[in-house]
Amino acid sequence: MLKKKAWEPWVYLVPALLFYTIFMAYPLFGSLAMSMYKWSGLGPMTFVGLENFRRLFLQPPFNERFFNALWNNIEFFLLTMVLQNAAALLFAVLLSQKIRFSNFFRTVFFAPVTMSVLMVGFVWTLLLNPSWGVVNKLLTIMHLDFLAKPWLGDEAWALPAIAFVNAWQFIGLPIMMFLAGIQAIPEDIYEAARIDGCNEWSLFWRITLPQLVPVIGMVTILTLVGNFSSFEVIYAMEGTLAGPNYSTDVLGTLFYRTAFSSLSGAPPDMGLGAAIASVMFTIIAMAVMGWFWLEARRRSA
């Protein structure tokens, strides 16, 4: 067998490393550096140090918009965890039972993941229309018209409605991950538990769920990363103003509106937008590092 030369692995690593550096690392560090400047996108840049972060955290109305968007992001994440991942775990357990047409159902669940987020958002905006949308029409037909609401026009229901749409589109990913985790559990464990008298409910709580802890952690992190970088679905369903009355505003839409838009009459502020992006990166990085720490601690235990 021919012995590999020391430089051969780099032949395969360098293209990926260059791609990552140009399109990921360089923009990231560029954004961190830009957060220290005041710049409208045109003309000279003025160094202001940590002034953009002071404005973001302490100065009205910037801090009001920021903390509103941050709380909405947290709520969006929690709603997605309940609507998407809890349902995904249920569907994965059902599909693992080798029911009829399981391959068909896998395809159905995963198909929305391949669709454009903007297209899905626009279609669901039509479905949720309070006047002629299908959702309210179906509720009326089923004599549940008291549940019909102006979903995207109600401050209390706009964000949950968008979270439902987001969960509907991406539920296929956690289903596949949970299903792979369940199928990796040795069947001998289940057989021994059944011999000891365990029912299906006990099998789930005592065997399936504990064995899925690493998968649940990975799904949680992926959900958090996806939610804290969300923009397209809210843009498609509520626009850049993230209405009504900023009730669906998240860090992604706030970043876009601050850095690139001049809808409020003020010029774009790239430095303040970069500060928002830096906070988004910090939150995601801390969550990922926290998960790595917990996973390493779990493995060592």
pLDDT digits (tens, 9 = 90+) for 242-283: 989 999 999 999 999 998 875 555 678 899 999 999 999 999
The yes-or-no verdict on residue 1 having pLDDT over 60 is: no
Q: What angle separates helix 51-58 from helix 270-300, to the nearest 10 degrees?
A: 80
Cβ neighbors of 158 (< 8 A, separation 6 or more) are 151, 152, 238, 243, 244, 247, 248
DSSP state of 151: G
Q: Which residues, other chains included, contact 237 with Cβ-Cβ below 8 Å and sequence gap of 6+? A: 121, 122, 124, 125, 152, 161, 162, 165, 248
Q: Which has the higher per-residue pLDDT, 9 or 186?
A: 186
Q: Count Cα neighbours of 143 within 13 Å in the Cβ-side half-sphere.
A: 0
CATH classification code of 37-300 = 1.10.3720.10
Is the confidence at residue 129, as pLDDT, over 90? yes
Helix (H, G, I), strand (E, B) or coil at 247: coil
Does the pLDDT at position 171 exceed 50?
A: yes
Q: What is the pTM of this model?
A: 0.88
Looking at residue 24, its pLDDT comes to 77
For 30-65, the pLDDT digits (tens) are 888 899 998 887 788 889 999 999 999 999 889 999
| Contact predicate 35/52, CB 8 Å | yes
DSSP symbols for 32-81 = HHHTTEE--SSS--EE-TTHHHHHHHHSTTHHHHHHHHHHHHHHHHHHHI
Burial class (CB in 10 A: 0-12, 13-18, 19+), 210: exposed
Q: Where are the domains of the chain?
A: 37-300
Query: Tens of pLDDT along 221-247?
Result: 999 999 998 999 999 999 988 989 999
- Ranges 14-23, 36-45, 168-177, 264-273: which has the least confidence: 264-273
Across 72-86, b (16+ Cβ under 10 Å) vs e yields: bbebbbebbbebbbe
**Is 4's pLDDT higher than 80?**
no
Cβ–Cβ under 8 Å, residues 84 and 144: no
